[in-house]
Amino acid sequence: MHHKGKDNMPAKTEQERAAKGGIGHSTALLVLLCVLLIAVSVVLVFMLKNHNDAKRGASEQLRLSAIAGFDCEYTEAQQLYPFMNGLLKVTNNRITYMSISGNEIYGVDVEMSSPICKIAGGYAMVADSDGFFCAMFSEEGLVFNKHLTGKIGNIALTPSGLSAVIIDEGKSFGDVYIMEKDASFLAQWTSNESGYPLSLAFSPDESLLSVSLVDTDGSQMVPHIKQFTIPKDRTTQRPSEYAFYSPLVSDIMPLVAYGSNSTLAVAGIQAVAVVGNGECKLIEPAMACVNTVFAYDGGFAVVYADGLDQPVRLAVFSANGIKKTEIELGNQLLNYDVSGSEALLAVDEKVMRIDLANGKVQSTTPVDETVIRVAFFGKKNICIVTAVGVRELTV
């Protein structure tokens, strides 16, 4: 028995050693896996920390440089329009005037399906582009509300509160309805032959109203411009037809902006024309992809690109269409505002303040939040509505 036990002892030891070796090998693998998991976790934590710090840094950068404002959700930010010394919040069922800190000053209940907002000076007009309702507001409150006889297509507004609205009554190509700031009726023009009204604009001195039209009766679309005189004394006189222009292009030209009291810039996708004083001339060379056109004191400016997905440029013109300068902007124009001869342009991740009279960039402010709207705010400041809130900045 003793001899037999000695014979078995080496075999048992070898089995134990094999088992211990397997356990050791498994333990080493587990340790290695744990080390790898810890390393991966550290890397992920580090990456998430840097990502959050970057986001928090962008937010804090704007907050630190802002002198006023508040945070909000993206859906609410889309409803906010800088207006006078505060903000106008436009929703389907309520119009609210708020302070720059987000406190409600007054509110008016409304019913609209698709509201649009136009601001000029101390007045703001809100209209339902899917309905018949419109209303005008000032800093003090509601000026008027009115239900028109046709579906609203577009609106124009002057700093004195004079307004014009394109409506569709279904009996013609469209109508233009002109109102005083108290909503009293001034005139209504019905387009039976000229074409469909697309957009409109008042001259700076409010003596002319221009309406862009597109005629589809022929074999191709033909753009027209219809102009009306607006008398100073509207208690005894009414607006009347003044001039009719047809730019010699087949491009639809819905964009209009007055370069002066007598000259109007009209733009389509690939053409820009200057009309007025009995003349209509195209600007050469043509611009491949026009983004927008806007007026300033002394002329007009065109934001355009050489093609789709190409960088955008700002071309500045005198009132009669002579090119003064051109400025490289960036990849995408997000929003803009004009005051006198200065413009604010939100492009990509920056806001540019440009002296249009001299063709110079005065300042460039980095913005690490998606800009929805930008506006001059007071004498020196600007207001930026971003995807995450409102900021009042000094630039």
pLDDT digit string, tens, across residues 223-256: 999 999 999 999 889 999 999 999 988 889 999 9
Does residue 327 lie in a domain region?
A: no
- Judge whether 241 lies within some domain: yes
Q: Is residue 161 part of a domain?
A: yes
What is the spatial order of strands in the sheet that 272-276 belongs to?
Answer: 255-258, 264-267, 272-276, 279-282
Per residue in 274-303, pLDDT tens?
A: 999 999 999 999 998 999 999 999 999 999
For residue 166, the enclosing domain spans 110-246
Instruction: Name 373's Cβ contacts closer than 8 Å, sequence gap at least 6.
Output: 80, 81, 82, 335, 346, 383, 384, 385
CB-CB neighbours of 374 under 10 Å: 25
Q: In whole angstroms, how far apart are CA 90 and each of 122, 126, 133?
A: 17, 8, 14
β-bridge partners, 226: 211, 244
Find out whether the peptide bond into 82 is cis, omega within 30 degrees of 0: no
Give domain status of residue 118, yes or no. yes
Q: How far is CA 360 from the centre of its chain?
A: 23
Instruction: Give the model's pLDDT for residue 59.
Output: 44
Least confident of 16-25, 130-139, 199-208: 16-25
Q: For residue 45, what pLDDT band results from cuts at 50, 70 and 90?
A: very low
At 67-86, the pLDDT tens digits run 889 999 999 999 999 999 99
CA atoms 333, 364, 318, 339: torsion sign: positive
- Residue 285 belongs to some domain of the structure: no
- The answer to whether position 28 is within a domain reads no
Residue 190 has pLDDT above 80, yes or no: yes
Q: What is the CATH number of the domain that holds 227?
A: 2.130.10.10
Backbone angles phi, psi at 13, to 5 degrees: -65, -40
Say how many domains are in the chain. 1
Highest mean pLDDT among 39-48, 51-60, 363-372: 363-372
Residue-wise pLDDT tens digits, 139-170: 999 999 999 999 999 999 999 999 999 999 88
Six-digit token string for 253: 């030209």
Tell me whether residue 156 is in a domain: yes
How far is CA 310 from each of CA 255, 261, 290, 343, rounded to the nearest angstrom? 21, 34, 12, 22
Phi, psi of 311 (to 5 degrees): -60, 150
Distance between CA atoms of 192 and 188, rounded to whole angstroms?
Answer: 13
pLDDT of residue 209: 98
Half-sphere exposure of 391 (CA within 13 A, CB side): 25
Q: What is the DSSP letter of 210?
A: E
The answer as to whether 352 is a domain residue is no
Cα–Cα distance measured from residue 110 to residue 33, given in angstroms and rounded to the nearest whole number? 64
For residues 193 and 174, give the distance between their C-alpha atoms in angstroms, rounded to a whole number. Answer: 10
- First-to-last alpha carbon distance for the chain, in angstroms, is 101
